[in-house]
Copies of this chain bind each other. A is one copy, B any other.
Amino acid sequence: MERRVLVVGGGFAGLYAAVALSGAPVRVSLVDRRNHHLFQPLLYQVATAALSPGDIAQPIRHILRRHRNVQVLLGEATAVDVAGRRVRLADGAALPYDWLILATGAGHAYFGHEEWRALAPGLKDIDDALEIRRRLLLAFEAAEREADPERRRALLTFVIVGGGPTGVELAGALAEVARDALARDFRAIDPRQARIVLLEAGPRLLAGFAESLGAAAAGELAARGVDVRLGTPVTGLAPGRVEAGAERIAAETVVWAAGVRASPLARSLGVPLDRVGRVLVEPDLSVPGHPEIFVVGDLAAFLHDPGAPGVPLPGLAPVAIQMGRHAAANVRRAVRGEPARPFRYRGRGMMATIGRNAAVAQIGRLRLTGVVAWLVWVLVHVRSLIGFRNRLLVLVEWAWAYLTFNRGVRLITGVAGLPPRRPAEAEPARRARAS
């Protein structure tokens, strides 16, 4: 009987592992709790109403439809039964394996304050992005109906926690939403008065990038009116309020883009994890003592990079893709009875975009900023999007947004209502600006 490879997770690492096992003399199953692969680098554009979810996500089974030895299953993995060589699912099923490739990624860490999660959603999947979009747009709607100037100001204050690529990209995009897309759509408020605050605990933005690029990003954000606060860790969150040391910011909308916590599935392996819960993998990406289990992508802490030994590889799409392919190649070798080979990351550069005509990028020793970096960013991202259809649609959306300064997908879906108001505020804020 054919031997079984189970891939858990349909992100970049898992998807590319499954593709790389196509045609191998094994039976491959890929299981994910979502039916779609997500092009995560553009997720912030869904959160800020520039793209539709369908533009950056594709059904995993559709992507893999031509790989006839690969089956895609919908299900949520809850534990690895290492001794029994199977993975348990939330619905009670168990999937057996001869080789396992674990690629369940990471979520946000709230530094021991799990109660902050509801107040400040993170940005990891499409439902997160739609929730953030809903909150951003509802804040402007509530402000339009708010008579009290203090509360209106809190509704128009947006705090983004974390100055990594996601935080920088969200802050830049949100500044454009307020300044351009919404500028003429309201009567009682002026969306251009919105205040966007980016809080970063560390001394600089984009800690993983060259120092000059972090400074360039801070400058570009400031030029767009974003209030960038470095060395400012969040110490408290309450509804309508952010505390950062002695300072209190009255803000109704907070988005979390800080801290990483690996998927809890790693704990069931019973092997050493690093501080954020990632699996300390062997040089060949396998788990210590279990050559049949590989861990790839954001779930893996790979400390064997010759360029920086002891420092984990960053959680980037190119790292995940190369790890997924490498684990698949090692499975193929094992099937043939050959020994596994060590993984070696081939650096592909990093980039973050700040907005219209502005980005930062580093590719090898090259440092790019401004329009040039932005053009490289557009090319790289459109080129990488899975599927011709998405590429075309994203190009249409972007061209339209670029030409009109507008954002096409400003829909509030799900729970749409405003919170109940106190009787004293019952009259709408009509003409607050005109008077």
A397: nearest residue on chain B (CB-CB)? B393
Q: In the complex the two chains form, is B413's CB within 8 Å of A145's CB?
A: no
What residues make up the interface of A, taking CB atoms closer than 8 Å to B? 27, 29, 33-36, 52-55, 57, 59, 61-62, 65-66, 68, 71-76, 90-95, 126-127, 130, 137-138, 141-142, 144-145, 184-188, 389-390, 392-393, 396-397, 400, 404, 406, 408-414, 416-423, 425-428, 430
A399: nearest residue on chain B (CB-CB)? B392
Given the interface contacts A420-B92, A426-B94, A430-B71, does A412 sit within 8 Å of B35 by beta carbon?
yes
Given B52, B414, B418, B426, which contacts A127 in the complex, CB threshold below 8 Å? B414
Measured between C-beta atoms, what is the minimum distance from A389 to chain B in Å?
5
A393: nearest residue on chain B (CB-CB)? B396
Q: In the complex the two chains form, is B93's CB within 8 Å of A421's CB?
A: yes
Counted per complex, copies of this chain come to 2
Q: In the complex the two chains form, is A92's CB within 8 Å of B426's CB?
A: yes
Given the interface contacts A52-B52, A428-B93, does A62 sit within 8 Å of B185 by beta carbon?
yes
Q: In the complex the two chains form, is A413's CB within 8 Å of B127's CB?
A: yes
Given B57, B72, B91, B418, which contacts A420 in the complex, CB threshold below 8 Å? B91
Measured between C-beta atoms, what is the minimum distance from A388 to chain B in Å?
8
- Residues of B with C-beta under 8 A to A53: 52, 409, 411, 413
Supply 13 A–B pairs (Cβ within 8 Å), ascending by A.
Answer: A29-B428, A34-B416, A35-B416, A54-B409, A62-B185, A62-B410, A73-B145, A90-B420, A92-B422, A93-B421, A93-B428, A130-B413, A389-B408
Measured between C-beta atoms, what is the minimum distance from A415 to chain B in Å?
9
Q: In the complex the two chains form, is A91's CB within 8 Å of B412's CB?
A: no
Given B57, B68, B141, B389, which contacts A74 in the complex, CB threshold below 8 Å? B141
Q: In the complex the two chains form, is A93's CB within 8 Å of B34's CB?
A: no
Query: CA separation between A392 and B36, bound complex, in Å?
Result: 25
Given the interface contacts A92-B422, A414-B127, A426-B92, does A71 sit within 8 Å of B187 by beta carbon?
yes
The 8 closest A-B pairs by CB, nearest first: A54-B409, A52-B52, A74-B141, A52-B54, A71-B187, A35-B412, A61-B185, A59-B410
Given the interface contacts A34-B416, A421-B93, does A411 sit within 8 Å of B145 by beta carbon?
no
Given B72, B188, B404, which contacts A71 in the complex, CB threshold below 8 Å? B188
Q: In the complex the two chains form, is B412's CB within 8 Å of A36's CB?
A: yes
- Residues of B with C-beta under 8 A to A94: 426-427
Query: CA separation between A415 and B397, bound complex, in Å?
Result: 28
Measured between C-beta atoms, what is the minimum distance from A88 to chain B in Å?
10
A186: nearest residue on chain B (CB-CB)? B61
Query: CA separation between A416 and B426, bound complex, in Å?
Result: 39
Query: CA separation between A247 and B153, bound complex, in Å?
Result: 61
- Residues of B with C-beta under 8 A to A392: 396, 400
Query: CA separation between A72 and B144, bound complex, in Å?
Result: 9
A4: nearest residue on chain B (CB-CB)? B430
- Residues of B with C-beta under 8 A to A420: 90-92
Q: In the complex the two chains form, is B91's CB within 8 Å of A54's CB?
A: no
Given B90, B127, B411, which contacts A35 in the complex, CB threshold below 8 Å? B411
A423: nearest residue on chain B (CB-CB)? B92
- Residues of B with C-beta under 8 A to A188: 71
13 A-B pairs besides A76-B417, A94-B426, A95-B428 with CB distance below 8 A are: A35-B411, A52-B54, A62-B185, A65-B184, A66-B184, A71-B187, A71-B430, A74-B145, A74-B416, A91-B417, A92-B421, A393-B393, A396-B396
